Amino acid sequence: FFFPEIDMLSLVSCSLALTPTPTPLAQNQQQGLARQDLAHCTSRRAVLSSAFALSVLPAPSFAGYVTSLGIETTKPQDAEKDDELLATDEVQKGLSAVKAYRQTASKLASQFEADPNMPLIPALRKEFDFSKLRTDLNVVTTVFDDTTQGTTDRVIRAILYDLTELETASRLKKGETERTPKKIANVNKWFGKLDKDFDDLLAYYK
């Protein structure tokens, strides 16, 4: 590496050697300035060397994978449940509601298959109140241990996301009365994803 500061220090040193001997006070001042310049130069060399070293290092082979590290998935057969809590009225009502949500989604999917141009958004908003749905989903998953709840929480987020995407996919632009084959396929895709995620969650209660 070539550092201009090092050459400048050499020139300064040479020029100082040719100048008359300064007074003790001036000599102390010059020595102090020289120490500051040397410290600055040394610090700058360290920074430049570190920056260069980082710039030439190859990217780690696991870049992009690190976000999935530490995520543990609990299978339904390995889940630990609090049976007493599961038997409470609140949890049982929530569980019945979740099953009803799945049946409603399946019913809407069948209606859509029969009439792919039906207005879906009003039905989705009527049958799936996000606030109540989220509450019911959170209540029923309190029966599990912390590790299992980490898994069920991801399923809950997936269900809510499915409904959001389903509404977006089913939206008709102003003046449109029919959906294109591509839009129909997209709606069916999210109906299928929603059904699968409900099934994944309910598998923990079998």
Quick one: 52 and 82 in the same domain?
no
Range of the domain at 43: 4-56
User: Is 71 inside a domain boundary?
Assistant: no
Task: State how many domains the chain has.
Answer: 2
Q: Which pLDDT score, from 0 to 100, does residue 69 have?
A: 45
Quick one: 91 and 172 in the same domain?
yes
User: Is 154 inside a domain boundary?
Assistant: yes
Q: What is the 3-state secondary structure (H, E, C) of the chain?
A: CCCHHHHHHHHHHHHHHHCCCCCHHHHHHHHHHHHHHHHHHHHHHHHHHHHHHHHHCCCCCCCCCHHHCCCCCCCHHHCCECHHHHCCHHHHHHHHHHHHHHHHHHHHHHHHHHCCCCCCHHHHHHHCCHHHHHHHHHHHHHHECHHHHHHHHHHHHHHHHHHHHHHHHHCCCCCCCCCCHHHHHHHHHHHHHHHHHHHHHHHHHC
Quick one: 85 and 185 in the same domain?
yes
Q: Highest mean pLDDT range out of 8-12, 41-45, 54-58, 106-110?
A: 106-110
Quick one: 193 and 116 in the same domain?
yes
Quick one: 153 and 198 in the same domain?
yes
Quick one: 127 and 200 in the same domain?
yes
User: Is 70 inside a domain boundary?
Assistant: no
pLDDT band at 17 (very low <50, low <70, confident <90, very high): very low
User: Is 33 inside a domain boundary?
Assistant: yes
Quick one: 86 and 129 in the same domain?
yes
Quick one: 91 and 185 in the same domain?
yes
Q: Give the least confident one: 30-39, 94-103, 171-180.
A: 30-39
User: Is 44 inside a domain boundary?
Assistant: yes
Tens digit of each residue's pLDDT (9 = 90 or more) over 130-147: 999 999 999 999 999 999
User: Is 65 inside a domain boundary?
Assistant: no
pLDDT band at 72 (very low <50, low <70, confident <90, very high): confident
Quick one: 136 and 37 in the same domain?
no
Quick one: 34 and 127 in the same domain?
no
Cβ atoms of 182 and 189 closer than 8 Å: no
Quick one: 102 and 27 in the same domain?
no
User: Is 26 inside a domain boundary?
Assistant: yes
Quick one: 16 and 114 in the same domain?
no
Give the CATH number, domain containing residue 128: 1.20.120.290
User: Is 62 inside a domain boundary?
Assistant: no
